[in-house]
Amino acid sequence: MSVRIKAVVDRFVKELKEALDADIQDRVMREREMQSYIEEREREVAEREAAWKAELSRREAEIARQEARLKMERENLEKEKSVLMGTASNQDNQDGALEITVSGEKYRCLRFSKAKK
């Protein structure tokens, strides 16, 4: 009788070990799948982040170029204005002359008259 009990216990232990081994294998496989999924998602996120940073850098460079172009255009406009319009300053001279500077040259106007329409 004890041989039969021993055989039943041995068979139970064997089946239990097989079930535990199968469970361990299943858990290891699920862990590998999960790790693979996590690595793939991290790679996707890193790629999107790199693309976003590249686009941001490109846009910042374009903004800097446009700002430089705008600054140059503004400086050119100021130069053109000073050349075309001249710089007029009313001096408190005793003779009441108006001094006008055009392209760095000073002109004095002693008499004024209204423009004819």
The whole-chain average pLDDT of the chain stands at: 84
Across 70-101, b (16+ Cβ under 10 Å) vs e yields eeeeeeeeeeeeeeeeeeeeeeeeeeeeeebe
pLDDT of residue 78: 83
42 or 78, greater pLDDT: 42
What are the Cα distances from residue 50, in Å, to 45, 57, 60, 63? 9, 10, 15, 20
In the numeric block, which tokens belong to residue 84?
A: 């075309």
Of 38 and 88, the structure prediction assigns the larger pLDDT to: 38
* pLDDT mean over 30-57: 97
In whole angstroms, how large is the CA radius of gyration of the chain?
Answer: 45
* Cα–Cα distance measured from residue 110 to residue 106, given in angstroms and rounded to the nearest whole number: 13
Report the C-alpha dihedral over residues 8, 9, 11, 14, rounded to 10 degrees.
Answer: 170
Least confident window among 2-6, 9-13, 55-59, 71-75: 2-6
Among 46-50, 64-68, 82-86, which is the least confidently predicted range? Answer: 82-86
* Token pair 């009313």 in the structure block, residue: 90
Question: What pLDDT does residue 28 have?
Answer: 97
Q: Are 105 and 91 in contact (CB under 8 A)?
A: no
pLDDT at 93 over 70: no
Percentage of the chain exceeding pLDDT 70 = 74
